[in-house]
Amino acid sequence: MRLPFARPSRFPSRLLLLLSLWMAAALAGGGCDGGHQAGASHAAQGPRAGDAHAGAAGTPAPRRGGTIVTGWNAEPQGVNEFLVAATNAGQEMLFQLFPRLLREEPDFERHPPTFSPALARSYEWSADHKTLTFHLREDARWSDGVPVTADDVRWTWQAQVSPEVAWESSYMKDEIADVEAVDAHTVRVRWKRVYAKQLLDVNEGGILPRHAWGQIPFSRWRQSGEWFKQHLVVDGPFTIGSWKPQQEVVLVRNPSFYEADRPRLDRVVMRIIPDQASILTQLDSGELDFTPAISPHDAPQVTANPRLRLLAFPYRSWIALAWNGSRQPFGDPEVRRALGMALDRRAIVETIWGKFARVSESPILSVIWAYDRALRPLPYDPSEARRILAAKGFAAGADGVLRRGGKPFAFELSTNAGNQQRVDSLVMIQEQLRRIGVRAEPRQVEFNSLMARVSAGDFDGCVVGNSMDTSLDLTAFFHSRAIAKGTNVTRYSNPEVDRLIDHAMSLPEIALARPDLDRIQEILHRDQPYTYLWESQRVSAFNRRLHGVEPSMLFSTYNLKDWWVEPQRH
């Protein structure tokens, strides 16, 4: 999953990334229970998030009840996940209303993520890994009292793949041949082929209420955004108490939720505040209890307030300088490597992000189990960069600018306007390249225009943001068949990488693809289609009266049902 140019300070959510033009291949991918065997049954288990705090020394015991006020910079756009464009707030909200079959745990650092029960209490694979049987919980009910059944799961899949619904992530279901309701609480999913992301693909998307929303044919869904809101039936920990457009959405406890002791909070008010400075002020004054993401530059203001806490956690993006391999001299891997060696990436990252980012070396994030720790960071070595370029026929002219065949080494260095960190990096890159005699001309381009230009190959060098989740599917970035789709923006083409990606993605478990992934990273590190710049953290801020907050790479309110709050002190 990827998005070369994340929109300024908003929409970092998983599904918006999917929406992007740049996403051709699968998103969520590849993890499944580490080391399980075909045919084995999985009563998926995960630690009960939030409980770790309970009873810990010096920590008050969790309590039930209370209201918290949270600040978001964009409003959810609806309650039907398959219709609305994803906003950060929207995806976080829908995650609380409609649970998935399983919960992907954020335990991806040492092995592929595991899955804990949600609507499905267990699942089992067939011997050929083409059939997966889910056993649903018998105690799951919709908020109107109707049981959640296998029929809901089958109908949800039909909605997901319906061309009339036109769900933006429907391609994740392309390989699913059928979803069968075996009985009220047993669902059997059959795939056309075996591949690494089967579990992630089938688990994508919440399960919707057929008895309530099935009243409207799929052909009318896109005209019925308000209807779904007015006929909301949920099975998650929260439902919607009220919704004031452009103002706030109030989530209230769903008494029908299958976990009797969850959620702990009575109400979660999602205040919509587009201005980041206003969010900070309200956090500071105690009007807000939580905000999912603040700028690293605002972190000192938050830490200066003893009532507030910061929580930095891994984010799924890597920022890199994409070289247009179809233009010379960027088609030459050695030239790209020389340009990368001319950059003091550590200085760039420390200046822009402080302690909230690290220099990246690979499209696979360093917090993910498959990151190749044997990779040696590309050194900052301007002398070596000059030597390589000299060997390639570049010689300094009277003005200090390198020339080859009388032509100066000058190029346009672009990024999307409005993203301050990337804009700042352009200036530093320009200066560092100038020192070796390369003239980069920074240019900020409006988001949509830049997307169109980069997709069409109309650029030289461009600072882009890509997103990589636990699927570890590198097809869209580096496979040669993604060049025509416009997602392989560097036009990188390497038959060995193509073969390795195809092989990795064809395995029944992504864990088995470790040798492929290591080799891919090694080749990419050598060829440098991108000069990797940084991978940043996301920084949530919240009031210390709030407990149990454990954001994940997927959702900052991942375990909202476990959060609890001390009474407001006056």
Instruction: Collapse the DSSP code of 169 into the 3-class scheme (helix H, G, I; strand E, B; otherwise coil) and give the result.
Output: coil
Which residue in 145, 163, 405, 406 binds other proteins (CB under 8 A)? 163
Q: Positive or negative, the Cα torsion across 49, 55, 60, 62?
A: positive
Instruction: Collapse the DSSP code of 216 into the 3-class scheme (helix H, G, I; strand E, B; otherwise coil) and give the result.
Output: coil
Q: Answer whether 406's CB lies under 8 Å from 451's CB.
A: no
Asked if 135 interacts with other proteins (CB under 8 A), we say: no
Size, binding site for other proteins by CB under 8 A = 54
Q: How far apart are CA 76 and CA 87, in angstroms?
A: 6
Which stretch, 203-211, 271-279, 344-352, 467-475, contacts other proteins (CB under 8 A)?
271-279
Asked if 306 interacts with other proteins (CB under 8 A), we say: no
For residue 458, which of 443, 470, 469, 472 has the smallest C-alpha distance? 443
Which stretch, 54-62, 79-87, 205-213, 429-437, contacts other proteins (CB under 8 A)?
79-87
Nearer to other proteins, 222 or 346 (CB): 222
For residue 513, which of 503, 523, 521, 522 has the smallest C-alpha distance? 503
CB atoms < 10 A from the CB of 19, how many? 15
Asked if 483 interacts with other proteins (CB under 8 A), we say: no
Q: In the range 81-110, which residues lie near other proteins by CB under 8 A?
A: 83-85
Asked if 224 interacts with other proteins (CB under 8 A), we say: yes
The residue to which tokens 């929207």 are assigned: 90
Tokens of 320: 């890199």
Asked if 273 interacts with other proteins (CB under 8 A), we say: yes
For residue 41, which of 127, 149, 100 has the smallest C-alpha distance? 127
Q: Answer whether 205's CB lies under 8 Å from 82's CB.
A: yes
In the complex, least distance from residue 292 CB atom to other proteins, rounded to whole angstroms: 16
Calculate the alpha carbon distances from 87 to 52, 72, 76 in Å: 30, 10, 6
Q: Exposure string (b/e) for 412-444, b if CB count within 10 Å is 16 or more?
A: ebbbbbebebbbbbbebbeebbeebbbbbebee
SS3 content of the chain, % helix, strand, coil (to 5): 30, 20, 50
Asked if 230 interacts with other proteins (CB under 8 A), we say: no
In the complex, least distance from residue 16 CB atom to other proteins, rounded to whole angstroms: 11
Asked if 192 interacts with other proteins (CB under 8 A), we say: no
In the complex, least distance from residue 77 CB atom to other proteins, rounded to whole angstroms: 6
Asked if 315 interacts with other proteins (CB under 8 A), we say: no
In the complex, least distance from residue 4 CB atom to other proteins, rounded to whole angstroms: 13
The residue to which tokens 């969790």 are assigned: 62
For residue 397, which of 388, 389, 407 has the smallest C-alpha distance? 407
In the complex, least distance from residue 519 CB atom to other proteins, rounded to whole angstroms: 28
Q: Answer whether 30's CB lies under 8 Å from 490's CB.
A: no
Which stretch, 101-109, 237-245, 362-370, 493-501, contacts other proteins (CB under 8 A)?
237-245
Bond before 329 cis per omega within 30 degrees? yes
Asked if 298 interacts with other proteins (CB under 8 A), we say: no
Q: Answer whether 156's CB lies under 8 Å from 95's CB.
A: no
Tokens of 272: 């919509």
Asked if 74 interacts with other proteins (CB under 8 A), we say: yes
Asked if 275 interacts with other proteins (CB under 8 A), we say: yes
Q: Answer whether 122's CB lies under 8 Å from 42's CB.
A: yes
Which residue in 36, 54, 116, 171 binds other proteins (CB under 8 A)? 171
In the complex, least distance from residue 254 CB atom to other proteins, rounded to whole angstroms: 20
Asked if 7 interacts with other proteins (CB under 8 A), we say: yes
Which residue in 168, 201, 518, 550 binds other proteins (CB under 8 A)? 168
In the complex, least distance from residue 156 CB atom to other proteins, rounded to whole angstroms: 17
Asked if 295 interacts with other proteins (CB under 8 A), we say: no
HEC string of 319-342 equals: EEEEECCCCCCCCCHHHHHHHHHC
In the complex, least distance from residue 509 CB atom to other proteins, rounded to whole angstroms: 25
Nearer to other proteins, 122 or 158 (CB): 158
Asked if 448 interacts with other proteins (CB under 8 A), we say: yes
Asked if 43 interacts with other proteins (CB under 8 A), we say: no
Which residue in 30, 31, 78, 292 binds other proteins (CB under 8 A)? 78
Which stretch, 48-56, 68-76, 345-353, 498-506, contacts other proteins (CB under 8 A)?
68-76
Which residue in 41, 247, 328, 420 binds other proteins (CB under 8 A)? 247
Asked if 242 interacts with other proteins (CB under 8 A), we say: yes
Residues making contact with other proteins (CB under 8 A): 7, 10, 18-21, 23-24, 67, 69, 74-75, 77-78, 83-85, 163-164, 166-171, 222-226, 242, 244-248, 269, 271-275, 277-278, 281-282, 284-285, 287, 446, 448-449, 451-452
